[in-house]
Structure 1
Amino acid sequence: MRRRALLGTAALLVLVTLAGLAAYLTRDSRKATNPPPTKSSSSPSSSALTSEPSPASVSPHSLPVPPTTHDPVAYGKAAAAALWSYDTRAYSQPELLAALHRWLTSEKKYADPDSVDALVPSPVLWKEMAGNGQFATARVDEGHFPGSFTQALQADPGAITAAYVYAVTVSGKQSIAWNGSPAGGAESRVITLAVQCRPSHPCALAGVLPAVAP
């Protein structure tokens, strides 16, 4: 809770207009209890406000590795793809959690690992999914700064310099397949992420917001 409060304090001036921020700062840690589909979200820096990275995808067969970039939108899209992808046949649930934690900022007071953990199936659910050989692939189509975030940043550009945490909304699709159903099915996904991009360091994930900001 202390980490979430610090993250909220540092980013409040630019994130206050985002729907669901209050819930993000005060909610209890939660674990995924519903079947397979997972969700995600992320953020960028002021010079990247006009950037539009190309679509991204992640293979479920290997653990996700964070990219090295100073573009918040590009990082947010990569993080969303990582959060929407998994393969119960290739690695364990703890291994996936450990890999996703490597995407988080090393500044502990701004990192919210619980918000990432909440998007990963619980150990019990993972075991059931593994029994069916379930895996998911992700396709990311678009990423952008939410309009409310952009307006707040333009109104007070200096507010971001305390923590350099940005909001990024990403949309795409998650395709899920399992033994006996290689085609599976696909569902649309949208997520808003908090991404830290300090000028002197590559971007890193701060956390996942509970509500999508358009």
Structure 2
Amino acid sequence: MMPKPTHPHHGAASTVLRRVLIGTAALAVLTVVAGLLAYFTRDEAPAPQHSPAATASASVSPSQRPAREPSVAVPSPPKTHDPVEFGKAAAKTLWSYDTRMASQPEYLAGLRQWMTDEAEYLDWDSVTSQVPAPDVWSRMRKNHQRATAIVSEGHFPQAFKTALADDPGAITQAYVYAVTVTGKQAIAWTGSGAGAESRSTTLAVQCRPKQPCALVGVFPQVAP
């Protein structure tokens, strides 16, 4: 069995996303995410876990980000204005892959079409950190490794809902929502496979009123 990609909690990969939410965004946005940030930066938060599949994963700088283009490796994002529905679709996409269909750069190019076009909010590194490094991907491809995913549910984390209820207008600066998604992922490779394993993630999803939703990034920890 080849190494399977996991979804580790990369503190470094979340740097841009945190800066978006607490540094470059207006105070209105800070109000919305304050509860989430308190959760993410707790002193007792566990240390990041680095799996072999994600260590040295493709961290693509803004100038190296793949352009938006159709991909056979990744489905196109849904045209929805519902952040929870988009979050569920995005999580399923991040948990699904088929190394027989595309190289690692081609897979990343497919993921790129899910991302927001607004550079000040985009945290591409937090997404690429979910994908195995090119050498690991190549070994997986030799073994025809692939994964399918089933999403069980999606919801706004409680801290996010509380902050939004306290100040409903705060979301209108960036329209970035936190969405937690749970589900299962099944891995298969030549001649064998593994049973479904539980997965959960919290995503940052941007849904402006007159634009379909887009992915901003992946939070380093899961918010309940």
Name the counterpart of 1:197. 207
Name the counterpart of 2:124. 113
Counterpart contact for 1:68–1:203, Cα < 8 Å: yes
Question: Letter of the aligned partner of 1:178 in structure 2?
Answer: W
Pairing 1:1-214 to 2, within 5 Å after superposition: 5-9=19-23, 10=25, 11-18=29-36, 19-20=39-40, 33-35=51-53, 62-181=73-192, 183-214=193-224
Deviation at 1:15, TM superposition (A): 1.4
**What residue ranges of structure 1 are gaps of 5+ in the alignment?**
24-29, 37-60
**What residue ranges of structure 2 are gaps of 5+ in the alignment?**
1-14, 55-71
TM-score normalised by length of structure 1: 0.79
Moved over 4 A (4+): 1-4
Q: Deviations over 1:33-84 (max 9, x none)?
A: 5348xxxxxxxxxxxxxxxxxxxxxxxx742211100000000000000000
How many angstroms apart in 1 are the aligned matches of 2:190 and 2:163? 48
Question: Letter of the aligned partner of 2:154 in structure 1?
Answer: G
How many angstroms apart in 2 are the aligned matches of 1:125 and 1:33? 11
CA RMSD in angstroms comes to: 2.1
Counterpart contact for 1:169–1:212, Cα < 8 Å: yes
| 3-state SS of paired residue (2:77) | coil
Counterpart contact for 2:153–2:181, Cα < 8 Å: yes
Deviation at 1:162, TM superposition (A): 0.5
Give the share of equivalent positions with the same residue, in percent. Answer: 58
Name the counterpart of 1:40. none
Counterpart contact for 1:33–1:125, Cα < 8 Å: no
Higher-RCO chain (CA-CA 8 Å, sequence separation at least 6): 1
